[in-house]
Amino acid sequence: MRMLKRAILALILAGFASAAAAQQYPSKPIRVVVSIAAGSVTDVIMRAAAAELQGRLGQPLVIENVGGAAGILGGKTCAQAPGDGYTICIIYHSTMSFNPLLFSNLPYNPDTDLVPVARLFFLVEGLFASSAINVNTVAELKALAQSKPEGLNYATLGEGSYPDLFLKWLNNQWGTKIVAIPYRGGGPAAQALAANDVQVTRFGVGNFVGVIEAGKVKALAVSSAKRSPVLPNTPTFAEVGWGDYPGQGWWGLAAPKGTPPDIVTKLSNEFQKLFKEPKFMEFLEKQAVVPAATDPAGFAAFLKQDRKDAETLITIANTKKTEFKE
Residue 12: inside a domain, yes or no?
no
> Within 13 Å of residue 92, how many CA atoms lie on the same side as its CB?
31
Residue 9: inside a domain, yes or no?
no
User: What 8-state DSSP symbol labels residue 98?
Assistant: I
pLDDT score of 3:
53
Boundary residue ending a domain (188, 222, 256) = 222
Residue 303: inside a domain, yes or no?
yes
Does one domain contain both 116 and 147?
no
CB 99 within 8 A of CB 160: yes
Does one domain contain both 117 and 137?
no
pLDDT score of 159:
84
Predicted structure pTM score: 0.83
What amino acid occupies position 298?
A: G
The domain total for the chain is 2
pLDDT score of 162:
85
Boundary residue ending a domain (206, 222, 238) = 222
User: How far apart (Å, rounded) are the C-alpha atoms in residues 127 and 201?
Assistant: 6
Residue 299: inside a domain, yes or no?
yes
pLDDT score of 15:
53
Residue 55: inside a domain, yes or no?
yes
Q: Please write down the HEC assignment for all residues of the chain.
A: CHHHHHHHHHHHHHHHHHHHHHHHCCCCCEEEEECCCCCCHHHHHHHHHHHHHHHHHCCCEEEEECCCHHHHHHHHHHHCCCCCCCEEEEEEHHHHHHHHHHECCCCCCCCCCEEEEEEEEEECEEEEEEHHHCCCCHHHHHHHHHHCCCCCEEEECCCCCHHHHHHHHHHHHHCCCCEEEECCCHHHHHHHHHCCCCCEEEEEHHHCHHHHHCCCEEEEEECCCCCCCCCCCCCECCCCCCCCCCCCCEEEEEEECCCCHHHHHHHHHHHHHHHHCHHHHHHHHHCCEEECCCCHHHHHHHHHHHHHHHHHHHHHCCCCCECCCC
pLDDT score of 117:
98
Does one domain contain both 136 and 214?
yes
Residue 325: inside a domain, yes or no?
no
CB 117 within 8 A of CB 263: no
Domain that holds residue 59: 29-123+248-316
Residue 5: inside a domain, yes or no?
no
As averages over each run of 10 residues, the pLDDT of the chain (326 residues) reads 53 52 86 94 96 97 94 96 98 95 95 98 95 97 93 92 90 94 93 98 94 98 90 95 84 98 98 98 92 98 95 86 85
Residue 7: inside a domain, yes or no?
no
CB 137 within 8 A of CB 220: yes
pLDDT score of 260:
98
We report the CATH number of the domain holding residue 83 as 3.40.190.150
pLDDT score of 150:
85
Torsion, CA 34, CA 37, CA 41, CA 46, rounded to 10? 30
Does one domain contain both 72 and 101?
yes
